[in-house]
Amino acid sequence: MTAPFDPSPSDDPIELFARWFREAEDAGLPLPESMALSTATADGVPSSRMVLLKAFGPEGFCFFTNYESRKSRELMANPRAALLFHWAVLERQVRIEGRVERVSDEESFAYYRTRDRGSRIGAWASRQSRPLPDREVLENRVAEFESRFPGDEVPLPPHWGGYRVVPERIELWQGRPSRLHDRCVFVRDGSAWRMERLYP
């Protein structure tokens, strides 16, 4: 049986998330860093997709993408987002909501250079979210950029980089028997966090 989740109002929700994330990794879950990212247009039409968490800390939660993608266009028009982690085996969810900002070019490049060469070429070749006539067009673009950048040094594309979700609300959800789940939400209050429990 899962132990009750009983945080203190003085706890830091980022540190609690870090502990849960380590436990998801230690449990051997596939892609514990996968998260649903929800954005919305300027007039509030939502969309969601799965992305990968690549860094997190007191400043926020980072992911990387094409700045010309649908998600990026929506974030430009409405710079707020929601993240959802779901670790089913551990009966845990984490919901994060907040404003969104671009990370620096230095941060984007530091992550970009850790990707394998094929993924770096792909960042140049993909016109993410735009119509693709057929697969051959994409393969031809990959070949074009492989020829343009023959060595391992593939520069950072100007249309590619990271975003940081700066959290204003973090909810940690722990499954319990009879659907009487533990739900604790932390809401940003100036430089501190305010905690309250929610009914399941």
Burial (CB count <10 Å: 0-12, 13-18, 19+), residue 128: middle
Q: Where are the domains of the chain?
A: 13-118+158-198
Residues 6+ apart with CB under 8 A from 160: 64, 65, 66, 67, 108, 112, 123
Q: Phi, psi at residue 169, to the nearest 5°?
A: -150, 130
Neighbours of 15 (CB within 10 A): 11
Cα–Cα distances (Å) from 48 to 51, 85, 131, 178, 194, in that order, read 10, 13, 19, 29, 28
The CATH number of the structural domain formed by 13-118+158-198 is 2.30.110.10
| Four-residue CA torsion sign, 29, 63, 69, 122 | negative
Q: Which residues are catalytic, by number?
A: 179
Report the distance separating Cα 192 and Cα 170, nearest Å. 13
Q: Give the per-residue pLDDT at 138.
A: 98
- Residue 165's beta-bridge partner residues? 61, 100
Helix ranges, 11-116 (H): 13-26, 70-77, 105-112
* Predicted pLDDT of residue 72: 98
pLDDT at 2: 57
Q: What is the chain's pLDDT, residue by residue, as a tens digit (200 residues)?
A: 456 788 988 899 999 999 999 999 999 999 999 999 999 999 999 999 999 999 999 999 999 999 999 999 999 999 999 999 999 999 999 999 999 999 999 999 999 999 999 999 999 999 999 999 999 999 999 999 999 999 999 999 999 999 999 999 999 999 999 999 999 999 999 999 999 999 99
Half-sphere exposure at residue 183, Cβ-oriented, CA atoms within 13 angstroms: 9
Query: Which residue is it, tokens 């959802």?
Result: 84
Reduce the DSSP state of residue 121 to 3 states and report it. Answer: helix
* Backbone torsions φ then ψ of 39, nearest 5 degrees: -125, 175
Q: Which residues have C-beta within 8 Å of that of residue 134, sequence separation ≥ 6?
A: none
pLDDT value for 79: 98
Give the predicted TM-score (pTM) of the model: 0.94
